[in-house]
Amino acid sequence: MWVYVYLAIGSNLGNRVSNIKKSINYLKSTRGIKFERASCVFESPAQGGPKGQSPYLNLAIKIKTILTPFELLDTLKNIEIKLKRKNDIHWGPRTIDLDILSYSDLVLISDRLSIPHPLMHRRMFVLKPLSEIGPDFIHPIYNKTVLKLLKGLNNGTKEIVPFN
C-alpha cells in the first residue's frame, strides 16, 4: 500500500545544490518511491554542533512509497553514503542529511528510528519548508498542523531565507 511521507533534506558541505539534486535524483530512481513535490530551498545558519559551520540549504519533499519505514531509512542512509556523508561529529557539517519527518500518521519510536521526527516541531529550518508543501499536515503527537507549529515558534524567521 502506498503511503505519503515527508522528508527533510539539508546540506552544508561541498556543492550544496548539487548534493541536494543528486539526493533527489537517487530517490526518484528508487523502486517503490514516487516523487510528489518539493518546497523551495531555504538557507539557514547551522544549529548545534561545532561553531563556524557553513550555512545549510534545506528543503522538504513529499513522496509516496511502498517501502516500510525501516526500508526507507536504509534507502536514505545508502544515499547519504553515496554522497559521502560522514557521521564523525554529532550535528557536524555534512554533504547531505536526509530525515524522515513523517510517514503517514504513524508514530514509531525505536533505537533506529523515531517517527515523526522528534525535533521537527522545534526546528524553523524544517517547519518553514514543510509549511509550503504540507501546511495542513497534522503532527500525530502534538495534534497541530505544521502552520500552527510554525506560528508557535516565532523565532529565527529572519535567519531562514529563500535561496535562489
Residues that are catalytic:
85, 94, 97, 99
CB 99 within 8 A of CB 113: no
Contacts 24+ apart (CB under 8 A), 107-113: 107/140, 107/141, 108/69, 112/70, 112/73, 113/69, 113/70, 113/73
Hey, which residues does 115 pair with through a beta bridge?
108
Local structure of residue 71 (DSSP, 8 states): H
Helix (H, G, I), strand (E, B) or coil at 79: helix
| 3-class secondary structure, 119 | coil
Under 8 Å between Cβ of 12 and 56: yes
Q: Please say whether the dihedral angle defined by the alpha carbons of residues 106, 25, 16 and 14, taken in this order, is positive or negative.
A: positive
